[in-house]
Amino acid sequence: MEKGSSSTKTGEEDQNEEQSQPNAPPSSERTLEFQIGNEESSLKKVAEEAQNTKD
């Protein structure tokens, strides 16, 4: 289990390095903004579901 989690951590770090490249074309920036928007909306859904389960 520990080996698997450590390998996924390094994979996430590699992805972050690729996304933060300053030479990325505008099209990839738009894609990142789109992904961030999707993550925010899904987080809101999770928060709403959590509040609903509290009641």
Residue 28 has a pLDDT of 78
Size of the chain in residues: 55
Per the structure block, which two tokens stand in for 50?
A: 């959590």
Asked whether the beta carbons of 16 and 32 are under 8 A apart, the reply is: no
State the Cα–Cα distance between residues 2 and 33, nearest whole angstrom: 32
User: Tell me: the pLDDT tens digits for 2-48?
Assistant: 555 554 455 555 555 555 556 656 677 788 888 999 999 999 999 99
pTM above 0.75, yes or no: no
Q: What is the dihedral of CA 29, 32, 37, 38, to 10 degrees?
A: 150
With tokens 């490249």, the residue in question is: 21
